[in-house]
């Protein structure tokens, strides 16, 4: 019995996703890529940085680049609030921060629950969407952080 259950779990693993909100929609990122969540603190702009870089923060002595997630997703800009958070993530062997409207919770999703949707995007940002999942009476948009930037952009950030 336990062997069967083990096979089932291997075939349909349960993944944990940290959910955050942007422009009244819920997004999810793989919990394994999230290092920590910070309250909003002043972000120092970097002269000459690409537009999708908001600036840098000092995280316990380490410099972390913060990405403008709204700009990256093609969403309108918004003011920061008490709920605004900087999610420190690791992707492409780099540690960066992404600015989000709020962090909600950690949800458990089976692999089989994740569905792909037809990508009818004309913009590059459409490729960030890994899939969608119906959870808590709303659709959760799962983001592929590895595709958040191109190889050139990851390299560019590394050089900041």
Question: Applying CB under 8 A, which residues contact other proteins?
Answer: 25, 73-75, 115, 117-129, 132, 134, 137-139, 141
How far apart are CB 61 and other proteins at their closest, in Å?
Answer: 34
Cβ atoms of residues 54 and 43 within 8 Å: yes
Q: Give the residue with the Cβ less far from other proteins, 57 or 129.
A: 129
How far apart are CB 66 and other proteins at their closest, in Å?
Answer: 19
Q: Give the residue with the Cβ less far from other proteins, 42 or 137.
A: 137
How far apart are CB 69 and other proteins at their closest, in Å?
Answer: 10
Residue 19: name the closest of 83, 90, 133, 105 by CA: 105
How far apart are CB 38 and other proteins at their closest, in Å?
Answer: 24
Cβ neighbourhood burial of 156 (10 Å; 0-12, 13-18, 19+): middle
Q: Give the residue with the Cβ less far from other proteins, 13 or 121.
A: 121
Q: Give the residue with the Cβ less far from other proteins, 57 or 149.
A: 149
How far is the CA of 104 from the CAs of 12, 22, 47, in angstroms? 25, 11, 32
How far apart are CB 133 and other proteins at their closest, in Å?
Answer: 10
SS3 state of residue 115: strand
Dist CA 97 CA 133 (whole Å):
24
Q: Give the residue with the Cβ less far from other proteins, 104 or 160.
A: 104
Dist CA 55 CA 42 (whole Å):
9
């Amino acid at each position: 019995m336990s062997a069967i259950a083990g096979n089932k779990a291997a075939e349909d693993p349960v993944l944990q996703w940290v959910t955050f909100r942007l422009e009244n929609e819920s997004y999810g990122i793989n919990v394994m890529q999230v290092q920590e969540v910070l309250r909003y603190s002043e972000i120092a702009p970097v002269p000459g940085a690409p537009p999708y870089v908001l600036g840098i923060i000092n995280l316990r002595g380490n410099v972390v680049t913060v990405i403008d997630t709204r700009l990256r997703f093609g969403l309108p800009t918004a003011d920061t609030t008490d709920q605004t958070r900087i999610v420190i993530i690791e992707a492409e062997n780099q540690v960066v921060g992404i600015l989000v409207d709020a962090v909600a919770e950690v949800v458990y999703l089976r692999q089989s629950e994740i569905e792909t949707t037809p990508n009818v995007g004309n913009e590059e940002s459409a490729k960030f969407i890994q899939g969608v999942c119906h959870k808590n009476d709303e659709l959760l948009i799962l983001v592929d952080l590895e595709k958040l930037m191109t190889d050139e952009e990851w390299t560019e950030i590394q050089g900041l």
